[in-house]
Chains A and B, each alone.
Chain A
Amino acid sequence: MSEPLLSVSGLRVGFATEGGLVQAVDDVSFELAPGEVLAIVGESGSGKSVTAQTIVGLTRSPNARIEGSIRLGGEELIDAGPDQLRRVRGERVAMVFQDPMTSFNPVHRVGAQLTEAIRAHRPAMRGEEARRRAVELLGAVGLPDPELQVDRYPHELSGGMRQRAMIAMALMLEPEVLIADEPTTALDVTIQAQILELLRRLNRERGLATILITHDFGVVAELADRVLVMHEGKIVERGDLDDVFYASKDAYTRKLLGAVVRLDRAPPLRAARQEAPLLEVTDLVKHFPVRRGLLFDREVDRVRAVDGVSFSVARGETLGLVGESGSGKTTLSRTVLQLLAPTSGSVRFEGEEIAGLSRRRMRPLRGELQMVFQDPYGSLNPRKRVGQIVGEPLHVQGRASGAELRRQVQELLERVGLSPEHHDRYPHEFSGGQRQRIGIARALSLRPKLIVADEPVSALDVSIRAQILDLLSDLQEELGLAYVFVAHDIGVVRHVSDRIAVMHGGKIVEQGPADQVCERPADPYTKTLLAAVPIPDPRETRARRGSSAA
């Protein structure tokens, strides 16, 4: 092996908190060779991001304790002064972050943010030259019309374009090491495939050594040469890509790999259901008017968020609704539940038309139709106790109060795998997975027949994700629930659904039994979507890449 470019040894990072010292990174050592892609994999809280950010001193703060050694080409960085660190940042080690929307400053133009690094490191370079370099790099990372994009603001670019611009920004000073911290997590799966391809190309063409931080084994299999698996601040497994996937020695790694929901593995077949549909949606349309006018608003255009959608869900059945961001899947689920008033079309629940019902007439039905939301942090009121959150629907609908309410809530908490003692705690005392259980308990409180789950597991770690999916499926079994399972991840959707509907541009482009849609897709968009899903299996990834190159 050639001389390591970067060598980290005995790295320990601890943060002093009110509850004592939290050891985020605990004795981590690794080396990065020139031109190599090293993946650091782990769940949230594993210390992978802290490790990466500590390399360039971004975790320094008065309450951080950082020990060990970080050598970049022979230069020690762990105790480097601010000026020495500043010269390393951007110039030798560049970073790309998870969310390209929040990682750009919204009030400065893209071009200005790209050239800013040049101004800081090479004050002699003329502004015009710096701008030319920005345009050139924006073109190199695949942005159409780079000459135009350079003068736009970040919010004027799409998510994928923003992440490309972010990568171009990292390349401005031709760094030796690129640290990509979850670079595709916030992106749609088809965009993710493009960004991964770009990173692979940069690594190949420029020999850019890359540290890839991710939680997604599919992304690892696509890109990495070597893999480190982190758990609770420690490296629990290290090795070449294939060794980690096929011959892993560590129990946690095997558990993590086992928990990954794989698109290319068919779940056990579910019994087909042939009952009268519980929910029947016909030609549902939801348009948002765009109004403009000098004094009085006229409708000048409309956004066709949901544009003529029909589907049905039987009792005890799961319909998977897949689509990328902007496909209209969230608008559709809210319109079905009458949280948004449909523009036209019909929604029948148990044979009764509910489209256009007044709020008051909708109220008794609310208990039968419930929703579980994506963000287990934002969707629970932080100032209310768990008991109040879960019991509120019962209380509001006048179904229970006092001791009876408490008993019912505790029963619900047990049902979703929490303890009755959790009744008087606040949401912030729970982990993401537990909070999602609270959200599910709340949805269950009125004994619904149908639950619309909008991305219920996409904010959760892989191992937690599997637990929540199991919980949902157990509840379905016990209570005969029907689900509309809305998600962007077709792998997860296949795992839980009887039937799948694929949404694109406000329309359902394909629907059918889960196996059929995933194995024999008919629609070109479905095919693109399926092909873009990274498969957590390096051999298959290579085979797939080989066949697409041939």
Chain B
Amino acid sequence: MGRFVVHRLAGMVAVLFAVSVLAFLVFNVIPSSDPAQRMAGRNSTPQLVASITEEWGFDEPLPQQYLTMMGNILSGDVVSYANRENVDERIVEGIPATFSLCLGAAFLWLLFGVLFGYLSAVRAGGALDRALTVLAVTGISIPVFWLAAILLNYLSYQTGLFPSGGYVGLTEEPLEWAYHLILPWITLAVLQVGFYSRVLRSNMLDAMGEDYVRTARAKGLGERRVMTHHVLRNSLIPLVTLFGLDVGVLLAGAILIEGTFGLDGVGQYAFESLKGLDLPPIMAIVLFGAFFVVLCNTLADIAYAFLDPRVKLGGSAQ
């Protein structure tokens, strides 16, 4: 276990380094990305551009610029090229909205994904299974931005049942927090519920053919215990890996949904920064995202070993 964590931490450093170098290089090779030119504005004089270049160190060699930027990000001194705001502070401000959105939706999609997948597998071939299949495929196929627009139109603008957006702090007003997040949660969860229920259904159908399920029946266990204790229990294990990846990716911000529902989170910030080709926040958010992807993956692997006693953490170097 200790060895496993050490290996993963070393791996995380490597991933963060690779991702940041890549982001930095890509930014520097795309055309019209010269930050001095952009900061100086459209009607700038060459002298102004030169002085900005001088002041911000854009004339230094790329490795030097990269190191300076990374140092600033890690020490919390990095500022935006566009408006000189402190980037790290801005990300921290966005975290509550982003995490609330992601974790709440994750809870919903896990709950309903497992519920629908279970029902679908237990009643495989029946009417309920077919209905849930249609529902799942529909959920997977619906574009997120379309669903968001439909929900907003019918449940907010026309009927006023839910607020149209904005974020209320959990500690300030817990009920308002949940009330404001219901539509974004549903939007984000619909796709994943469909996906997870399909994966679980097929895992469970595979597991039902296993010898140990026959053994469980031969012992005289009731059908529900066979299904929950032997079939479902073993079929949930692969979902853990999937869940770790999905949550990791979403913790770095759900760009489309945050924008549509006016949640001023990390995803929204990422979107604005990308529009303005603002390198410092882009770099910081890329690092932020990669950090959570690796972290959630590691947690998923630990959970996996906990759920499946055959798996030993750090048993092999691969």
Contact = CB atoms under 8 A, between A and B. Distances in A.
Given A82-B223, A291-B317, A297-B317, A97 B215 contact: yes
A468 interface: no
A292 B221 CA distance: 42
A56 B218 contact: yes
A482 B170 CA distance: 78
A41 B211 CA distance: 21
B307 interface: yes
B53 interface: no
B214 A153 contact: no
A103 B215 contact: yes
Contacts of A104: 212, 215
B216 interface: yes
A90 B220 contact: yes
Interface in B1-18: 2-3, 6-7, 10
Contact of B214 (A86, A103, A108): A103
A58 B310 contact: no
Contacts of B10: 295
Interface in A277-323: 291-295, 297
A89 interface: yes
Nearest to A90: B220
B230 interface: yes
A121 interface: yes
Chain A residues touching B, range: 35 or more
B221 A153 contact: no
Nearest to B212: A105
A108 B237 CA distance: 13
A89 B219 contact: yes
Interface string A77-100: 000001000111111001101010
B206 interface: no
B149 to A, nearest CB: 44
A86 B309 contact: no
Contacts of B6: 294-295
Contact of B217 (A87, A89, A107): A89
A453 B225 CA distance: 45
A53 B213 CA distance: 13
B222 A120 contact: yes
B308 interface: yes
A155 B223 CA distance: 25
Interface string B287-317: 0000000000000000000011110000011
Contacts of B230: 105
A89 B214 CA distance: 11
Interface string B220-258: 111101000110011001000000000000000000000
A166 B212 CA distance: 11
Given A107-B309, A294-B6, A102 B210 contact: yes
Contact of B219 (A82, A90, A102, A292): A90
A117 interface: yes
Interface in B175-200: none
A91 B10 CA distance: 54
A169 interface: yes
A88 B217 CA distance: 11
A82 B125 CA distance: 20
A263 to B, nearest CB: 30
Contact of A102 (B212, B308, B317): B212
A122 to B, nearest CB: 11
A58 B217 contact: yes
Given A104-B215, A295-B7, A86 B310 contact: no
Contact of B220 (A97, A99, A117): A117
B53 to A, nearest CB: 43
A88 B220 contact: yes
A53 B310 CA distance: 29
A106 interface: yes
Contacts of A87: 220
Contacts of B214: 53, 58, 97, 103
Contacts of A86: 220-222
Contact of B310 (A95, A120, A155): A155
Contact of A58 (B2, B218, B308, B309): B218
B210 A117 contact: no
Interface in A505-544: none
A116 interface: yes
A153 B309 contact: yes
Contacts of B223: 82
Contacts of B211: 97, 99, 102-103
B218 A95 contact: yes
Contacts of A153: 309-310
Nearest to B230: A105
Given A102-B211, A105-B212, A107-B308, A294 B2 contact: yes
Nearest to B225: A120
A399 B219 CA distance: 58
Contacts of B316: 291
A97 B212 CA distance: 10
Nearest to B9: A295
B219 A103 contact: no
B220 A121 contact: yes
Interface in A105-159: 105-108, 116-117, 120-121, 153, 155
A285 to B, nearest CB: 22
A82 B233 CA distance: 23
Contacts of A297: 317
A95 B6 CA distance: 46
A155 B225 CA distance: 23
B218 A155 contact: no
Interface string A225-245: 000000000000000000000
> Which of B211, B220, B308 is the most central at the interface, judged by chain A CB atoms within 10 Å of its CB?
B220
A56 B215 CA distance: 12
Contacts of B307: 107
A292 B3 CA distance: 9
A56 B212 CA distance: 16
Most chain B C-beta atoms within 10 Å of own C-beta, residue among A104, A120, A166? A120
A135 to B, nearest CB: 18
B222 A294 contact: no
Given A99-B211, A293-B3, A294-B2, A155 B309 contact: yes
A295 B10 CA distance: 9
Interface string A49-80: 00001001010001000000000000000000
Contacts of A107: 233-234, 237, 307-310
Contacts of B310: 106-107, 153, 155
Nearest to A179: B218
Nearest to A173: B220
A443 B20 CA distance: 51
A90 B220 CA distance: 5
Contacts of A155: 309-310
Nearest to B314: A292
Contacts of A293: 3
The 10 A-B residue pairs with the shortest CB-CB distance in the complex, in nearest-first order: A90-B220, A89-B220, A102-B211, A117-B219, A105-B212, A95-B218, A90-B219, A103-B211, A153-B309, A103-B215
8 contacts: A53-B214, A56-B218, A88-B220, A90-B218, A90-B220, A91-B220, A97-B215, A108-B233
Interface of A: 53, 56, 58, 62, 82, 86-91, 94-95, 97, 99, 102-108, 116-117, 120-121, 153, 155, 166, 169, 173, 291-295, 297
Given A86-B222, A120-B222, 12 more contacts: A58-B214, A62-B125, A86-B221, A90-B218, A95-B215, A97-B211, A116-B221, A117-B219, A117-B220, A153-B309, A173-B220, A295-B6
